[in-house]
Amino acid sequence: MDRARRGSRIVAGSAAIGMLLAAPVQAKKKDAAGPVIAMSDSFRAAAASVRAALEAGDLVTAVSRLSTLQPTSDFENYAAAGLRFEAATRRGDIQAQRVALTDMFKTASVPPADAPRLRYMAGLYSFQVGNYDDAVAQLNYARTLGYTGIDATMLMADIQMRRNKPREARPFVDQLLAQYRAAGRPIPAAWYDRAIALGYQSGDWAAVGALYRERLAAYPSTGNWRSAIANYLTAPGMNPQVQLDLYRLQAAVGAMASERDFQAYASLAERSGHNAEAKAIIEAGRAAGKLVATQTVTAGLMKTVTPKAAKEIGALPALARKATAAGDGSAAAKVADEYFSLSQFPKAVEFYRLALAKGGVDAGRVNSRLGVALARSGDLANARTSLAQANGEWANVAGFWAVWVDQQARQSASSTPPPVLARTQAVAGS
pLDDT at 426 (0 to 100): 35
pLDDT at 30 (0 to 100): 44
Q: The whole model's pTM is what? A: 0.81
> Exposed (0-12), middle (13-18) or buried (19+): which is 209, by Cβ within 10 Å?
buried
Name the architecture of domain 1-145: Alpha Horseshoe (1.25)
- Nearby residues of 6 by Cβ (< 8 Å), 6 or more positions away: 117, 120, 121, 124, 151
List, for the chain, all residue ranges whose pLDDT scores fall below the cut of 50.
1-19, 22-32, 418-430
Distance CA 127, CA 142 (A): 14
- Nearby residues of 299 by Cβ (< 8 Å), 6 or more positions away: 293
Spatial CA neighbour of 319 closest among 286, 354, 284: 354
> Exposed (0-12), middle (13-18) or buried (19+): which is 388, by Cβ within 10 Å?
middle
Q: Which amino acid is at 195?
A: A
Give one word for 301, left, alpha or beta, with left for phi > 0 and alpha for psi -120 to 50.
Answer: alpha
CA 281 vs CA 268, 275, 343: distances in Å: 11, 10, 12
pLDDT at 5 (0 to 100): 43
Q: How many CB atoms lie within 10 A of CB 336?
A: 30
DSSP state of 165: -
pLDDT at 34 (0 to 100): 55
User: Integer distance in angstroms from the first to the last C-alpha of the chain?
Assistant: 56
Q: Which amino acid is at 374?
A: L
